[in-house]
Structure 1
Amino acid sequence: MLIKLAMNGMKGRLKDYIVLFAGSIIPISVFYMFLTLAVNQTFIRNHSLINHIQLVFIVGTVLLSVISFIYILYTTSFLLSLRKKEFGIYQLIGVKKEQIKKVILTETMAIGGFSIIQGIAFGVFLSLCIAMLLAKQLNITLAGFKPFYLPAVLFTILFFLFIYFISVLLNNRKLTQSPIIKLLYSEIQSDHSPAKHKGTMIKIILGTASLFIGYTALILMEFITYAGLFLAPIMTTLGTYLLFDSIVPLVVQRLKENKHKRLKGINSFTYSQLSFRINELKRVLATIAMFIALSAGAISGGFAFKNNVLPTVDKEVIYDMTLYNPDALESTVIHSIPFTEKHHYRFKFDEEFNYYLYEDLVKNPPLIEDFITYQIRRAGNLPLPEKLPIENSFQILPEDWYMALETINPAMFSMRSNKIVSIEDYKNIPQKEVIVVLGKTENFQDYLAQWKELDQLQLAKYFDLLGYKPDADSISSKYSSFLNEYAFASGTYFMGFFLGFAFLTMMASVLMFKILSGASMDIHRYAILRKIGVRNRLLAASISKELFIVFLFPALLGILHVVVGMRMFSFIMLDPYYKIWISILLFIAIYTVYYFSTVYMYKKIVLPKNRARVIEYTA
């Protein structure tokens, strides 16, 4: 009997359950994809580069789990609110509350189970696609990667079943605490047009001031640092809610009072509908605006962070090439690269010191980064070489030449102390000579294949110098640094893109749920208009216009938040607005789909094709 009640209840609200089902698949699939890439142990062991992005996907999993938890709690609570009257009738005819709780449990876990199965199925496909893209970008194989990874599958199932179960407990508690009379009359609400409050102007001033402070903190983040990290989110959020609480009802009221607009068609009815609902929607719209900023910002940040890899590496490692004792094979590769600058340096080493030849350093002082101006310049003020042997074991060098020697010899700089010696003393040092070749090109990224080949050829040289053979992606070269940074940036890019995509879909779903929740109370209004002769075309246009205005408010402020908010990264990124148009277009595409879906479903509810239903609703 309980299963039959549950099935009938699901059939009666099939459209609402389909929206919940569709909205839940995206976060579940992205959650599974993040988790699979984060814990796929064989894949991680086979590719050391994946270690650099493992933490990124773990962070993405945690963030998505928090938002998914809130989203599922909200949507299941929303579906319960639509069926309060139905559950009240069950109690009225003698069904016990414990039995109704079992009905809610059955329905919620059934829809949760379907969502999890479909989400994991799509997540497996998504994981394979992303792994292939990562492998192509990082030039690695998919050895050891399992798109269907059982530990990730089990954790995803348990985590989301737990969320759905928690939502059941909370919904059952709400139902238990509600008297039958309240459940029976849950659909009867009195709508009031927003009144003019004396505090509206104060809220507008405070909201504008808060938003101004928040935006200022974002723009000046480089200078106010930690204070900005607190001020920006707090004041921007506060300003958003205050402005939506004050300006949105005021704008709707002004539209309603504008005679020129009001007297066109059935605009009077449209604006009245808006004014009836705006008090209920304004805080939800403020939340949606913040979600738009977070989601579109996450996608934009991923693009900008990936674009910032090369400038970051250029700043950290000045020379594109650092070779030890290049042989014939390496010389062949070198000759294929047009260098703007190429220098040779000689040194010897024993157990205590690296001995650098003074004449080489004076002839070709390497480039270094100035500590004060952060500009690239030549090292200067090279001291005279020390005579060997000397009583003092350490040679005090100017700051310039500590950096210069690290630039010349990154693999061995920190392993021993350094001495600069004359050619006479250098010849008397019995150790074998090592030649270091530094090279710089106009565009490092044009010769990635050559840098990779040189790094692979250098592995044997590193074994002779260091006594062990490092991984190809961890030797002291610019290409190795670029590869590590690029791997981390690629992980951040994918995390930001899919996290933003999941946020956008959940955000739009929430707005859709909120709008559709009041649709049943509007049926009689549209039925009356049809009965007095208003054509369906005008009613449909009224619905489209009303919902367009509702969707427009958070979209405008959300995009403004993104445009201003990305400015906070200007001091750590070359171009924080790199391809920001992609995130904005993606938001517009998803938002538009949900807008038209909401309009379509709203029309299906309030504009039934069967005229017999209209008579029924107006009776």
Structure 2
Amino acid sequence: MSLFDLTIRNVKRNFRLYSIYLTSMIIGVIIQYTFSSLMYNGDIIDALQNRELFQTGIAIASVVIFLFIIFFILYANSFFMRQRKKEFGMYLLYGLNEKQIVRMVFYETLVMGAISLVVGILLGSLLSKLFGMLLMNLMQYEQPISISFPIGSMATVTGAILLIALIVSVQSYILVNRVQLTELFHAKQKAEKPVRVSASMAILALLLLGMAFILICSGVNSTVWKDYGTISLIATAVGVILGTYLFFRQFAGWLLQLISRGRKYHEGNTVLWTSSLRFQIRGNTLNLTFISLFSAVIMMLLCFVTINYKVQFEAVGRNVPNHLAFESQGPAANGKIDQLIESSDHNIRYHLKSEALVTEAVTDRGVAFDNPEYYIPGLWLISQKDYNELIGQRGDKEQVELQGMEAVALSQGSDFPKHYKAGESPDFTVQAGEGKTFKLTAKLDYAYLGWATDPALSMDKKPPVFVISDEAYAELSGLSEKKSFEIYGLSDAKNAEDLSKEVHAIVSQTKGAYYSSFADVYSKQIESSSLMLFAAGFLALIATFALASVIYFKQLREATEERQQYAILRKMGIDNRQFRSVIRKQQLFVFLPPIVLGMAFSWTIIKSYILDSVSDFPELPGIVWSIIGVFFLIYLLFYASSVNLYYRIINQNP
């Protein structure tokens, strides 16, 4: 019998065991192929404005996802190999050498890899179309996506399968070559020892976690973080990491020990599920700690990019509120621009002409603008009349009522906008004539003229705009230089990239002329935030499956090792209903704590450092809870699957 024939017989004889490993490989191929094929999909590439950014982002994300797939499949393989140690011992006993066994494992991996490639590519092509449509929907592009089989993606997943086959072969060689034959036969009988626990260490775990949560909830603006930032950061990190480790190592063990000392310990099936868990704590501590912390990181990442995506739509409008706005170029150039707009597919909703007085600030601009280095030099004064007229066209509620030397600073992007009370308004002096001093009544997070933009380079700097009363504007009109602006409101402004390039080409002929277009920023911001959300969602999905699989395969291995004990219990009269109850409680104790702790970490950090700073978006907390709920649902599905498979394994003959 050849090694290849032996491989086929092994697969047929141990189909259940092989099917678990094969399923893991198929899932890995589907995910890798689905994601990487997006980079080669012509329909998607044609729809994008920033193709190079998209392809670079997909390539980087593909590498990260590939590493997670390797981890996912190799962890499944470690479970697979452990179950076969006795089988390898039999082969050695019957005369096969180490190289032959390694070659047999290599053949098995190639056979399963070939099956995974065929199934994974077929299913991945369908999913690629669906995810491509989802990506276009996120970017709000109406682009049909067709099913494709890109050679580059197929080559990528084929290379991944070959790499996995080589790594598995190396693992098998180390296992067979370095482990004694007697150890292979008795590998499954190595029992873990219960960990020593103490009430003081259990209390320390809760104190560390409590300290971490208190510091996180206090926020970066609290006195603790402002005065002792480094110490607070170290204390939070120690509380989260060490507290989580001790929670699973000591608190869980102490809790089980406390249950075992209760009066009703021997009633029902409590003794069955707690005694088994006490022996598993040592082997599960690092896994559960890693799962708690990493799942918190993954949830925070996905929540952050989702919030960023939701905020971007409004943020682009706040940063660049005018569909087209530029410094007047004279009658000939302005007429040419009008003709370009009228001949385009974008109807003119309104066209306003505005002017500003250009002066210099005597007072430090930091009084009126946050981060003044992001603003164009000087100061531009806009009349209340022109300002309110444009605000009315936008349909916003930021109109102002000013008198005398009152002024409002438009500090768009300000973290701390203010409305000053009577008697608290700061003075702000400008160079106009002999100098004029205004009273700032407010510093608004709002823009009259948005960021200066460029179709190729996106945003540049912001205009430093003051809104002053009509009386003050009339008084200063003869004392300062003036700039005139053309401001357009267009239909379908988000798709006006081509029009923007044509208008910019005319305006840019005047060196230093102000130009701003909503479309210049929208496509870049929305495409980049959509890609981040899409890639983070993919990464979060596979990372969650990988983390849940760590528990899943660990529990299946323990189920295989405990079949003998369950067989003895069955002979003692324990029925199947009690077995199911024991398994459910035992698995719940392993699956529930890490995901709940991870959810608590992620929600607390997201709430304290992101949601509290974007209170203008009341729907965001619901979105965050939805994301956390999906993570919990995935773990719940793994829990239910683990319970059912655990029960089937212990019912097999040991």
2:357 and 2:480 in contact (8 A); partners too: no
1:462-477 alignment runs, 5 A limit: 462-466=504-508, 476-477=516-517
**What does residue 153 of structure 1 align with?**
154
- Aligned residue identity for 2:159: L
Cα distance, 1:44–1:553 mapped onto 2, change above 3 Å: same
Is 2:258 the partner of 1:258? no
Q: CA deviation at 1:67?
A: 2.2
SS of equivalent to 1:579 = helix
Is 2:628 the partner of 1:584? yes
- Aligned residue identity for 2:591: F
1:433-448 alignment runs, 5 A limit: 435-437=485-487
What is the rounded CA distance, in whole Å, between the counterparts of 1:373 and 1:594 in structure 2? 43
**What does residue 305 of structure 2 align with?**
302
What is the rounded CA distance, in whole Å, between the counterparts of 1:132 and 1:462 in structure 2? 32
1:330 and 1:454 in contact (8 A); partners too: no
1:101-500 alignment runs, 5 A limit: 101-140=102-141, 142=143, 147-192=148-193, 194=194, 196-197=196-197, 201-202=200-201, 204-205=203-204, 208-209=207-208, 212-213=211-212, 216=215, 220=219, 236-260=240-264, 262-317=265-320, 319=322, 322=325, 325=334, 327=338, 336=349, 344-345=354-355, 364=386, 368-369=410-411, 374-375=416-417, 383-384=431-432, 407=449, 410=452, 435-437=485-487, 449-452=491-494, 459-466=501-508, 476-500=516-540
SS of equivalent to 1:259 = coil
What is the rounded CA distance, in whole Å, between the counterparts of 1:589 and 1:498 in structure 2? 16
2:201 and 2:246 in contact (8 A); partners too: no
**What does residue 443 of structure 1 align with?**
none
Identify which of structures 1 and 2 has the higher relative contact order when contacts are C-alpha pairs closer than 8 Å and 6+ apart.
1
1:88 and 1:184 in contact (8 A); partners too: yes
Q: Whose helix proportion is higher, 1 or 2?
A: 1
Cα distance, 1:67–1:565 mapped onto 2, change above 3 Å: farther
**What does residue 545 of structure 1 align with?**
585
- Aligned residue identity for 1:369: S
Q: CA deviation at 1:301?
A: 2.6
2:349 and 2:491 in contact (8 A); partners too: no
Number of residue pairs the alignment of both structures matches:
564
- Aligned residue identity for 1:437: I
- Shifted more, 178-187 versus 141-150: the winner is 141-150
SS of equivalent to 1:35 = helix
- 1:454-512 deviation per Cα after TM superposition (whole angstroms, max 9, x unaligned): 766555433322359xxxxxx83234323321211111111122211111122222211
2:322 and 2:487 in contact (8 A); partners too: no
SS of equivalent to 1:344 = strand
1:85 and 1:184 in contact (8 A); partners too: yes
Cα distance, 1:188–1:220 mapped onto 2, change above 3 Å: same
- 1:417-445 deviation per Cα after TM superposition (whole angstroms, max 9, x unaligned): 99x99779989xxxxx9741277xxxxxx
What is the rounded CA distance, in whole Å, between the counterparts of 1:492 and 1:226 in structure 2? 30
What is the rounded CA distance, in whole Å, between the counterparts of 1:237 and 1:541 in structure 2? 33
2:260 and 2:271 in contact (8 A); partners too: yes
What is the rounded CA distance, in whole Å, between the counterparts of 2:75 and 2:184 in structure 1? 19
What is the rounded CA distance, in whole Å, between the counterparts of 1:84 and 1:182 in structure 2? 9
**What does residue 607 of structure 1 align with?**
651
What is the rounded CA distance, in whole Å, between the counterparts of 2:151 and 2:558 in structure 1? 42
Q: CA deviation at 1:569?
A: 3.5
What runs of 5+ residues in structure 1 fail to find an aligned partner?
A: 349-353, 387-399, 428-432, 440-447, 469-474
1:300 and 1:578 in contact (8 A); partners too: no
What is the rounded CA distance, in whole Å, between the counterparts of 2:234 and 2:46 in structure 1? 39
2:451 and 2:460 in contact (8 A); partners too: no
- Shifted more, 125-134 versus 225-234: the winner is 225-234
2:39 and 2:55 in contact (8 A); partners too: yes
**What does residue 390 of structure 1 align with?**
none
Q: CA deviation at 1:204?
A: 4.9
What is the rounded CA distance, in whole Å, between the counterparts of 1:234 and 1:59 in structure 2? 31
What is the rounded CA distance, in whole Å, between the counterparts of 2:253 and 2:528 in structure 1? 45
What is the rounded CA distance, in whole Å, between the counterparts of 2:41 and 2:217 in structure 1? 37
What is the rounded CA distance, in whole Å, between the counterparts of 1:10 and 1:464 in structure 2? 71
SS of equivalent to 1:265 = coil
Q: CA deviation at 1:12?
A: 4.0
Cα distance, 1:215–1:125 mapped onto 2, change above 3 Å: farther
SS of equivalent to 1:88 = helix
**What does residue 95 of structure 1 align with?**
96
What is the rounded CA distance, in whole Å, between the counterparts of 2:503 and 2:92 in structure 1? 82
SS of equivalent to 2:189 = coil
RMSD over aligned Cα, in angstroms? 4.5
Cα distance, 1:61–1:150 mapped onto 2, change above 3 Å: same
- 1:569-617 deviation per Cα after TM superposition (whole angstroms, max 9, x unaligned): 3477556645122222222322222212111111111124xxxx5xxx5
Cα distance, 1:164–1:454 mapped onto 2, change above 3 Å: closer
Cα distance, 1:231–1:98 mapped onto 2, change above 3 Å: farther
Q: Whose strand proportion is higher, 1 or 2?
A: 2
TM-score by length of 2: 0.73
What is the rounded CA distance, in whole Å, between the counterparts of 1:585 and 1:414 in structure 2? 40
Q: CA deviation at 1:369?
A: 0.8
Q: CA deviation at 1:183?
A: 0.8
Cα distance, 1:294–1:195 mapped onto 2, change above 3 Å: closer
2:72 and 2:549 in contact (8 A); partners too: no
SS of equivalent to 1:484 = helix
What is the rounded CA distance, in whole Å, between the counterparts of 1:296 and 1:78 in structure 2? 27
1:88 and 1:180 in contact (8 A); partners too: yes
**What does residue 638 of structure 2 align with?**
594
Q: CA deviation at 1:143?
A: 8.3
Cα distance, 1:467–1:561 mapped onto 2, change above 3 Å: same
What is the identity percentage for the equivalent residue pairs of Structure 1 and Structure 2?
21
What is the rounded CA distance, in whole Å, between the counterparts of 2:518 and 2:235 in structure 1? 38
2:65 and 2:539 in contact (8 A); partners too: yes
Cα distance, 1:367–1:163 mapped onto 2, change above 3 Å: farther
What is the rounded CA distance, in whole Å, between the counterparts of 2:630 and 2:108 in structure 1? 33
Cα distance, 1:357–1:100 mapped onto 2, change above 3 Å: closer
- 1:215-264 deviation per Cα after TM superposition (whole angstroms, max 9, x unaligned): 7358646767899888766753333222211112122222233233x344
Cα distance, 1:118–1:252 mapped onto 2, change above 3 Å: farther
**What does residue 36 of structure 1 align with?**
37
**What does residue 80 of structure 1 align with?**
81
- Shifted more, 273-282 versus 322-331: the winner is 322-331
What is the rounded CA distance, in whole Å, between the counterparts of 2:288 and 2:186 in structure 1? 27
- Aligned residue identity for 1:505: F
Is 2:522 the partner of 1:521? no
2:303 and 2:627 in contact (8 A); partners too: yes
Cα distance, 1:257–1:60 mapped onto 2, change above 3 Å: farther
What is the rounded CA distance, in whole Å, between the counterparts of 1:149 and 1:586 in structure 2? 31
What is the rounded CA distance, in whole Å, between the counterparts of 2:232 and 2:26 in structure 1? 36
SS of equivalent to 2:573 = coil
What runs of 5+ residues in structure 2 fail to find an aligned partner?
A: 329-333, 359-375, 388-407, 421-426, 435-441, 465-472
What is the rounded CA distance, in whole Å, between the counterparts of 2:429 and 2:144 in structure 1? 52
SS of equivalent to 1:407 = coil
- Shifted more, 501-510 versus 132-141: the winner is 132-141
